[in-house]
């Protein structure tokens, strides 16, 4: 717990006896040496392999001197925007600036530039003309080839070209970064390092690229959106480390960008070794005067147990970044890390999370994935669980039981999201029972996302009846345990495939459940998701079939207002949406109506709300009181703005790195078996 930080000044490097560092790591985040942060893992992995690394955190991008702290490194600069895509870090889905940044000292916003990886790369290149520059992290990974940029509303080139860098290290970079370092240390020129899996490089000749799939050229994609959809479909089908092909993208002036196949997944022993490295496990003391770095608060006592996800939600870029093959740490590794918590005076006995992209995924979906890869044209869970899917919660339950038994541990929460369709596929209720008995504190967050099967099919999510079955089973198990616990469904508006008809369907569901979310997440077109490709091109890249996408600000407002129809501020929007959808039957005084007609042309107070009374309304009010009355320590799992194990910048709602925080932008209410409860701020979603 008291490991020495890597040097942040040349003076500190000299104290170690170094005259020159091998690598300078430039990050858009404040320096936090904790394995939930990509910078910490990459720098410690390099250190473990004998390399000298200095860290420059959040340099002043207007001042070239800010990246010259260590002078010229012996081998190269490593550049990352941080644990999040910098544009997602800066802006909401409505493109409004965020007021804070959990990854900066004191939560201060504006400590990094827009498109940070490209800006840092160009800043370095102006001062160091020939020094190798390797860009990595979530921003570079998801922008490694031509991609749609929501904030400029245009197709952008590979970040390799826009950043002035030599190589992109994409995906989970432990393997590729060591191979790059070893190649440079052996004397190879950066231009000759073209053979490493998990990297992207540029070239003017394809003479030695003999086995690649050629994607549509950048110029063609600029002229034809369907060409981009075609390209993204090819990329998506080649994102597996065992079956993925080399890809080539042509740019003007005879430049080619070549993507090598993804790196192979780490074995359990290799992943354990990464987390056994000597992290300081906190932020650098230079931030103490500013109040520290907020992002450490939750991950400090959380455990990242896995990476990779075979869930394949369309709005999530995990397949594109981490891949579909799940890798997990051993129980012994997780227990060993948890024991370190007791040495920290801030530890109060609560382990905040044990999970990853999906908490209850702890192994590949089937045995063949580790030798033959994931099926390129089939999903493991959608539209139905594959017959070869191996559903087993026993390993995860063993981990949770061991952690619960540790001295000083009062509660072990699961906040990184439970995939409810996978839980249902297990004929044994043991996992759901122990989840309810030990790992939920009043509310469990799950992510059905929508109720319309038409929208769910576009999202790659299970049909609504699957969620309904889980909701009933959850209620039954809690009743058997004598517990009053609520299910909090996350919902998304304006996703591709959602017309006003489907939005009304979602509003009616909320009405019948007696549930109104306080905040709704609009679909957020973040780089390199299937849903973002749909948003830009109007077709599903997997099938090339047209998909309706709400794009105007006003239509998005209409869909969001329908879900929050009880809010008086939304009255005019709700009425307009209902009329456009041909559902004026929902304007009236009957119980099934969403809003009442105006009285004498005056202002309307709003929707029916809980004034309808009845069992649902009474349960809603009592559930809200129960949720509020629980002690703060027991409501800890309902907070917002806390780091999660999910991978950053990967989700088209609000993206984060799996080694860092994910903030939900809303506070939903919840329901157990249909009984709502007002929630504190929400956790991450599956």
Q: pLDDT tens across 152-193, in order?
A: 999 999 999 999 999 999 999 999 999 999 999 999 999 999
436 is known to lie in a ligand binding site: no
Query: Do the Cβ atoms of 380 and 322 come closer than 8 Å?
Result: no
In this predicted structure, the answer to whether residue 319 has a pLDDT above a threshold of 50 is yes
In this predicted structure, the answer to whether residue 649 has a pLDDT above a threshold of 70 is no
In this predicted structure, the answer to whether residue 297 has a pLDDT above a threshold of 80 is yes
How far, in Å, CA of 89 to CA of 111, rounded?
A: 11
**Vertex 30: Cα angle to 29 and 32 (nearest 5):** 105
316 is known to lie in a ligand binding site: yes
CA-CA distances (angstroms) from residue 599 to 585, 595, 606?
17, 12, 11
In this predicted structure, the answer to whether residue 613 has a pLDDT above a threshold of 80 is no
Q: What's the pTM value of the predicted model, to 2 decimals?
A: 0.87
2-19: per-residue pLDDT in tens? 689 999 999 999 999 999
- Please spell the DSSP secondary structure of 66-103, one letter per residue: GG-TT-S-SSEEEEE--SS-HHHHHB-TTSPBPS--TT
Among 41-50, 348-357, 370-379, the range scoring the smallest mean pLDDT is 370-379
In this prediction, residue 625 carries a pLDDT of 37
Expressed in angstroms, the distance from the first to the final Cα of the chain is 32
How far, in Å, CA of 266 to CA of 326, rounded?
A: 10
Query: Do the Cβ atoms of 30 and 104 come closer than 8 Å?
Result: yes
In this prediction, residue 652 carries a pLDDT of 54
For residue 228, count other CB atoms closer than 10 A to its CB. Answer: 25
Query: Do the Cβ atoms of 197 and 176 come closer than 8 Å?
Result: yes
In this prediction, residue 99 carries a pLDDT of 96
In this predicted structure, the answer to whether residue 598 has a pLDDT above a threshold of 90 is no
**Vertex 496: Cα angle to 494 and 502 (nearest 5):** 60
Q: C-alpha 92: how far from its chain's center?
A: 15
How far, in Å, CA of 301 to CA of 297, rounded?
A: 8
Query: Do the Cβ atoms of 28 and 660 come closer than 8 Å?
Result: no
Q: Provide CATH 3.40.50.280 ranges for the chain.
A: 10-196
How far, in Å, CA of 385 to CA of 379, rounded?
A: 8
In this prediction, residue 620 carries a pLDDT of 39
**Vertex 356: Cα angle to 354 and 359 (nearest 5):** 65
309 is known to lie in a ligand binding site: yes
CA-CA distances (angstroms) from residue 619 to 202, 444, 494?
61, 17, 29
In this prediction, residue 516 carries a pLDDT of 79
In this predicted structure, the answer to whether residue 673 has a pLDDT above a threshold of 60 is no
In this predicted structure, the answer to whether residue 663 has a pLDDT above a threshold of 60 is no
Average pLDDT over residues 206-212: 92
Which has the higher per-residue pLDDT, 519 or 662?
A: 519
In this predicted structure, the answer to whether residue 412 has a pLDDT above a threshold of 80 is yes
For the record, the structure tokens of 649 come out as: 């910048």
Query: Do the Cβ atoms of 86 and 104 come closer than 8 Å?
Result: no
83-138: per-residue pLDDT in tens? 999 999 999 999 999 999 999 999 999 999 999 999 999 999 999 999 999 999 99
Average pLDDT over residues 346-353: 95
Average pLDDT over residues 345-367: 94
Instruction: Report the percentage of the chain scoring pLDDT > 90.
Output: 80
In this predicted structure, the answer to whether residue 496 has a pLDDT above a threshold of 60 is yes
Query: Do the Cβ atoms of 408 and 444 come closer than 8 Å?
Result: no
3-class secondary structure per residue, 522-582 = ECCCCCCCHHHHHHHHCECCCCCCECCCCCCHHHHHHHHHHHCCCCHHHHHHHHHHHHHCC
Q: Which helix (H) or strand (E) holds 489?
A: strand 486-493
Average pLDDT over residues 279-301: 96
- Please spell the DSSP secondary structure of 136-182, one letter per residue: EHHHHHHTSSSEEETTTTEEE--HHHHHT-SEEE-SS-HHHHHHHHH
How far, in Å, CA of 113 to CA of 244, rounded?
A: 33
Among 251-265, 344-358, 632-646, the range scoring the smallest mean pLDDT is 632-646
In this predicted structure, the answer to whether residue 683 has a pLDDT above a threshold of 50 is no
In this predicted structure, the answer to whether residue 604 has a pLDDT above a threshold of 50 is no
Average pLDDT over residues 381-386: 92
Average per-residue pLDDT in the chain? 88
DSSP 243: T
How far, in Å, CA of 618 to CA of 205, rounded?
A: 71
For the record, the structure tokens of 476 come out as: 């039954």
In this prediction, residue 298 carries a pLDDT of 85
Topology of domain 10-196, CATH: Rossmann fold (3.40.50)
């Amino acid at each position: 717990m008291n490991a020495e930080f890597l040097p942040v000044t040349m003076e500190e490097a000299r104290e170690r006896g170094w005259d020159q560092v091998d690598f300078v790591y430039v990050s858009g985040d404040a320096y936090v040496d904790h394995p939930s942060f990509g910078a910490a893992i990459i720098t410690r992995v390099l250190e473990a392999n004998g390399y000298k690394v200095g860290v420059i955190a959040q340099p002043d991008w207007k001042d070239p001197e800010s990246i010259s702290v260590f002078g010229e490194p012996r081998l190269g600069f490593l550049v990352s925007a941080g644990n999040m895509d910098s544009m997602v870090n800066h802006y909401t889905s409505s493109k409004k600036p965020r007021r804070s940044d959990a990854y900066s000292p004191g939560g201060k916003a504006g400590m990094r530039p827009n498109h940070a990886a490209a800006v840092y790369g160009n800043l370095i290149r102006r001062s160091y003309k020939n020094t190798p520059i390797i860009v990595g992290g979530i921003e570079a990974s998801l922008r490694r080839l031509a991609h749609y940029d929501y904030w400029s509303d245009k197709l952008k080139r590979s970040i390799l070209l826009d950043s002035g860098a030599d190589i992109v290290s994409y995906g989970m970079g432990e393997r590729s970064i060591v191979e790059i370092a070893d190649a440079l240390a052996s004397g190879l020129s950066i231009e000759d390092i073209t053979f490493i899996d998990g990297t992207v490089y540029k070239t003017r000749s394809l003479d030695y690229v003999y086995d690649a799939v050629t994607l549509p050229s950048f110029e063609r994609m600029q002229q034809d959106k369907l060409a981009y959809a075609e390209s993204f479909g090819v990329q998506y089908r080649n994102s597996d480390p065992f079956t993925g092909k080399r890809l080539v993208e042509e740019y003007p002036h005879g430049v080619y960008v070549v993507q090598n196949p993804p790196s192979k997944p780490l074995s359990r022993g290799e992943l354990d070794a990464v987390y056994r490295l000597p992290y300081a496990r906190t932020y650098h003391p230079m931030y103490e005067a500013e109040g520290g770095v907020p992002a450490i608060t939750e991950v400090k006592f959380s455990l990242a147990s896995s990476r990779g996800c075979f869930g394949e939600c369309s709005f999530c870029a995990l397949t594109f970044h981490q891949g579909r093959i799940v890798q997990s740490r051993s129980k012994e590794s997780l227990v060993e890390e948890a024991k370190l918590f007791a040495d920290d005076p801030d530890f109060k006995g609560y382990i905040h999370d044990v999970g990853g992209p999906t908490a209850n995924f702890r192994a590949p979906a089937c045995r063949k994935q580790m030798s033959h890869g994931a099926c390129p044209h089939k999903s493991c869970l959608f539209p139905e669980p594959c017959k070869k899917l191996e559903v087993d919660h026993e390993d995860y339950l063993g981990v949770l039981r061991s952690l619960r038994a540790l001295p000083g541990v009062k509660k072990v929460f699961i906040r990184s999201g439970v995939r409810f369709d996978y839980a249902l596929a297990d004929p044994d209720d043991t996992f759901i029972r122990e989840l309810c008995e030990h790992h939920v504190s009043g509310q469990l967050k799950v992510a059905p996302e929508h109720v319309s099967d038409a929208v769910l099919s576009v999202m790659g999510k299970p049909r609504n009846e699957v969620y309904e079955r889980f909701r009933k089973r959850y209620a039954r198990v809690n009743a058997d345990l004598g517990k009053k616990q609520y299910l909090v469904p996350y919902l998304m508006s304006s996703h591709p495939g959602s017309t006003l008809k489907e939005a009304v369907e979602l509003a009616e569901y909320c009405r019948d459940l007696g549930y109104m979310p306080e905040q709704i997440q609009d679909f957020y077109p973040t780089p390199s998701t299937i849903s973002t490709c749909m948003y830009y091109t109007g077709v599903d890249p997997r099938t090339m079939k047209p998909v309706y996408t709400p794009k105007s600000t006003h239509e998005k407002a209409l869909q969001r207002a329908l879900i929050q129809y009880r809010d008086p501020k939304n009255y005019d929007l709700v009425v307009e949406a209902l009329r456009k959808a041909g559902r004026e039957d929902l304007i009236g005084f009957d119980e099934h109506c969403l809003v009442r007609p105006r009285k004498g042309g005056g202002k309307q107070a709003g929707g029916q709300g809980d004034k309808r009374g009845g069992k649902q309304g009474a349960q809603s009010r009592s559930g809200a009181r129960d949720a509020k009355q629980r002690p703060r320590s027991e409501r800890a799992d309902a907070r917002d703005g806390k780091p999660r194990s999910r991978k950053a910048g990967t989700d088209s709602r609000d993206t984060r790195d799996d080694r860092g925080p994910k903030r939900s932008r809303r506070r939903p209410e919840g329901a157990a078996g249909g009984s709502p409860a007002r929630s504190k701020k929400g956790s991450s979603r599956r």
